[in-house]
Chains A and B, each alone.
Chain A
Amino acid sequence: MLFNSFIFFIYLAVVLPIYYITPGKMKNVVLVLASYVFYGYWDYRFTALLAISTIIDFTVGQKLYKCQDSKNQKRWLWLSIFSNLGILAVFKYYGFFVESVAPLASIFGGNLDYLHLNIILPVGISFYTFQTMSYTIDIYRGRLTPTKKFIDFAVFVSFFPQLVAGPIERATNLLPQIVKRPMPSKSQIEKGVVLIITGLFKKVMIGDAAGRIVDNIFSQPDIYKSPELLAALVLFSIQIYADFSGYTSMARGTAKLLGIELMKNFEQPYLSQNITEFWRRWHISLSSWLKDYLYISLGGNRRGMKRTYINLMITMLLGGLWHGASWNFILWGALHGVYLVIHKLVSDKKKVKYGYRYSGLLSLFKYLINVTLTFFLVLFTWLFFRSPDFSTATTFIMKMIYWESSPFTMRFFIITFSFTFVMILFDILNIIQKSEVFILTIKNKGVIMGILVVMLLASFLFMFQNEALPFIYFQF
Chain B
Amino acid sequence: MVFKVLMVFKILKLFIGFIFAAALGLVVLELFLQKAEIETVSTTDFDSHIGRIKRPNMNFIHFNEGFSMGQYNNNSILGPDCSIEKKTGVFRIAILGDSYVESLQVFRRDQFISIIEKQLSKNLGKSVEVLNFGRSGFDLADMFAYQQNFVNQFKPDLILYFLSSNDLICKQTDLLIPKVILKDCELIVTNDLFPQKYLRTYNKTKWLTQNSITMQMLVSAGKLILAGKFWPKMLGKFHVNFKEPLISNNITTQLPPLTFAIQDNFSSNTIVVNRGNSQLSKEFMIGLEKNKIPFVSLRDTLTVLKQKGIDPYYWVVTNTKGHLNHMGHKAIGYYLSEKLSKLLIN
- Mark A residues whose CB is within 8 Å of B: 1, 5-7, 10, 41, 205, 209-210, 212-213, 215-217, 219-220, 223, 408, 411, 414-415, 417-419, 422, 444-451, 453-455, 458, 461-467
Task: Name which of A205, A212, A450 has the most chain B CB atoms within 10 A of its CB.
Answer: A450
Given contacts A7-B235, A418-B35, contact A408 B15 (CB under 8 A): no
Q: Of all chain B residues, which has the CB nearest A408?
A: B69
Q: List 8 A-B contacts (CB under 8 A).
A: A213-B67, A223-B107, A408-B69, A446-B21, A447-B20, A450-B23, A453-B22, A462-B38
Contact of A446 among B17, B33, B69, B214 (CB under 8 A): B17
Measured between beta carbons, the chain A residues less than 8 angstroms from B29 are 454, 458
Given contacts A6-B233, A449-B18, A450-B22, contact A411 B35 (CB under 8 A): no
Contact of A212 among B16, B63, B224 (CB under 8 A): B63
B233 touches A444 (CB 8 A): no
Taking the closest CB of chain A, its distance from the CB of B319, in whole angstroms, is: 9
Q: Does B66 contact A (CB under 8 A)?
A: yes
Q: Mark B191-221, 1 if CB is under 8 A from A, else 0.
A: 0000000000000000000000010011011
Measured between beta carbons, the chain B residues less than 8 angstroms from A205 are 32, 38
Taking the closest CB of chain A, its distance from the CB of B20, in whole angstroms, is: 7
B326 touches A220 (CB 8 A): yes
B13 touches A444 (CB 8 A): yes
Contact of B20 among A210, A217, A417, A450 (CB under 8 A): A450
A415 touches B37 (CB 8 A): yes
Taking the closest CB of chain B, its distance from the CB of A413, in whole angstroms, is: 11
For the complex, what is the distance from the CA of A165 to the CA of B19, rounded to whole Å? 37
Given contacts A444-B13, A464-B233, contact A216 B36 (CB under 8 A): no
Taking the closest CB of chain B, its distance from the CB of A269, in whole angstroms, is: 21
Sorted nearest first, the 9 A-B pairs with minimum C-beta distance are A450-B21, A446-B17, A454-B25, A446-B14, A446-B18, A216-B67, A418-B36, A450-B22, A444-B17
B110 touches A223 (CB 8 A): yes
B67 touches A454 (CB 8 A): no
B32 touches A7 (CB 8 A): no
For the complex, what is the distance from the CA of A220 to the CA of B310, rounded to whole Å? 15
- Main secondary structure on A side of the interface with B: helix
B25 touches A415 (CB 8 A): no
A465 touches B224 (CB 8 A): yes
B317 touches A445 (CB 8 A): no
Q: Does B124 contact A (CB under 8 A)?
A: no
Q: Does B44 contact A (CB under 8 A)?
A: no
For the complex, what is the distance from the CA of A419 to the CA of B26, rounded to whole Å? 17
Given contacts A444-B14, A446-B18, A464-B233, contact A455 B318 (CB under 8 A): no
Q: Does B237 contact A (CB under 8 A)?
A: yes
Q: Does B236 contact A (CB under 8 A)?
A: yes
Given contacts A215-B317, A461-B221, contact A41 B17 (CB under 8 A): no
Measured between beta carbons, the chain A residues less than 8 angstroms from B21 are 446-451, 454
Measured between beta carbons, the chain A residues less than 8 angstroms from B326 are 220, 223
For the complex, what is the distance from the CA of A6 to the CA of B239, rounded to whole Å? 12
Measured between beta carbons, the chain B residues less than 8 angstroms from A462 are 38, 217
For the complex, what is the distance from the CA of A75 to the CA of B234, rounded to whole Å? 49
Measured between beta carbons, the chain A residues less than 8 angstroms from B236 are 1, 5-7, 41
Measured between beta carbons, the chain B residues less than 8 angstroms from A5 are 236
A461 touches B19 (CB 8 A): no
Q: Of all chain A residues, which has the CB nearest B319?
A: A467
For the complex, what is the distance from the CA of A419 to the CA of B32, rounded to whole Å? 8
Interface size on B, residues (CB 8 A): 44
For the complex, what is the distance from the CA of A414 to the CA of B66, rounded to whole Å? 21
Taking the closest CB of chain A, its distance from the CB of B127, in whole angstroms, is: 20
Contact of A414 among B19, B20, B23, B35 (CB under 8 A): B35
Mark out the residues of chain B between 1 and 32 whose CB falls within 8 Å of any chain A CB in the assembled complex. 13-26, 29, 32
Contact of A461 among B14, B110, B217, B234 (CB under 8 A): B217
Given contacts A447-B21, A465-B217, contact A418 B317 (CB under 8 A): no
Measured between beta carbons, the chain B residues less than 8 angstroms from A209 are 36, 38
Taking the closest CB of chain A, its distance from the CB of B85, in whole angstroms, is: 24
Task: Name which of B16, B29, B38, B110 has the most chain A CB atoms within 10 A of its CB.
Answer: B38
Measured between beta carbons, the chain B residues less than 8 angstroms from A417 are 35
For the complex, what is the distance from the CA of A415 to the CA of B36, rounded to whole Å? 4
For the complex, what is the distance from the CA of A205 to the CA of B38, rounded to whole Å? 8
Measured between beta carbons, the chain B residues less than 8 angstroms from A212 are 63, 67
A216 touches B235 (CB 8 A): no
A216 touches B317 (CB 8 A): yes
Measured between beta carbons, the chain A residues less than 8 angstroms from B14 are 444-446, 449
Measured between beta carbons, the chain B residues less than 8 angstroms from A455 are 25
For the complex, what is the distance from the CA of A419 to the CA of B35, rounded to whole Å? 9
Q: Of all chain A residues, which has the CB nearest B11?
A: A446
Q: Of all chain A residues, which has the CB nearest B316?
A: A219
Taking the closest CB of chain A, its distance from the CB of B70, in whole angstroms, is: 9
For the complex, what is the distance from the CA of A47 to the CA of B35, rounded to whole Å? 44
A219 touches B25 (CB 8 A): no
Measured between beta carbons, the chain A residues less than 8 angstroms from B281 are none
Taking the closest CB of chain B, its distance from the CB of A36, in whole angstroms, is: 15
Q: Of all chain B residues, which has the CB nearest A220?
A: B326
Q: Of all chain B residues, which has the CB nearest A218?
A: B317
Taking the closest CB of chain B, its distance from the CB of A231, in whole angstroms, is: 11
Taking the closest CB of chain B, its distance from the CB of A464, in whole angstroms, is: 5
For the complex, what is the distance from the CA of A220 to the CA of B23, rounded to whole Å? 41
For the complex, what is the distance from the CA of A132 to the CA of B16, rounded to whole Å? 50
Measured between beta carbons, the chain A residues less than 8 angstroms from B237 are 7, 41
Q: Does B57 contact A (CB under 8 A)?
A: no
Measured between beta carbons, the chain B residues less than 8 angstroms from A215 are 317
Q: Of all chain B residues, which has the CB nearest A461?
A: B217
B110 touches A411 (CB 8 A): no
Measured between beta carbons, the chain B residues less than 8 angstroms from A220 are 326
For the complex, what is the distance from the CA of A212 to the CA of B317, rounded to whole Å? 9
Taking the closest CB of chain A, its distance from the CB of B324, in whole angstroms, is: 14
Measured between beta carbons, the chain A residues less than 8 angstroms from B220 are 465
Q: Of all chain A residues, which has the CB nearest B19?
A: A450
Q: Does B238 contact A (CB under 8 A)?
A: yes
For the complex, what is the distance from the CA of A451 to the CA of B29, rounded to whole Å? 10
Q: Mark B237-262, 1 if CB is under 8 A from A, else 0.
A: 11000000000000000000000000
Q: Does B59 contact A (CB under 8 A)?
A: yes
Taking the closest CB of chain A, its distance from the CB of B68, in whole angstroms, is: 9
Given contacts A7-B236, A415-B35, A444-B13, contact A450 B18 (CB under 8 A): yes
Measured between beta carbons, the chain A residues less than 8 angstroms from B20 are 446-447, 450
Measured between beta carbons, the chain B residues less than 8 angstroms from A418 are 32, 35-36
For the complex, what is the distance from the CA of A467 to the CA of B29, rounded to whole Å? 21
For the complex, what is the distance from the CA of A455 to the CA of B36, rounded to whole Å? 16
Measured between beta carbons, the chain B residues less than 8 angstroms from A446 are 13-21
Contact of A7 among B17, B24, B38, B234 (CB under 8 A): B234
Q: Of all chain A residues, which has the CB nearest B16?
A: A446
Given contacts A10-B235, A414-B35, A453-B22, contact A461 B214 (CB under 8 A): yes
For the complex, what is the distance from the CA of A265 to the CA of B18, rounded to whole Å? 31
For the complex, what is the distance from the CA of A453 to the CA of B21, rounded to whole Å? 9
Measured between beta carbons, the chain B residues less than 8 angstroms from A415 are 35-37
Q: Of all chain B residues, which has the CB nearest A412?
A: B69
Not counting A411-B37, A464-B221, a sample of 17 additional A-B residue pairs whose C-beta atoms are within 8 angstroms of each other reads: A5-B236, A6-B236, A7-B236, A10-B235, A212-B67, A215-B317, A415-B35, A444-B14, A445-B14, A446-B13, A446-B19, A446-B21, A450-B24, A451-B22, A453-B25, A458-B33, A461-B218
Measured between beta carbons, the chain A residues less than 8 angstroms from B37 are 411, 414-415
For the complex, what is the distance from the CA of A1 to the CA of B236, rounded to whole Å? 9
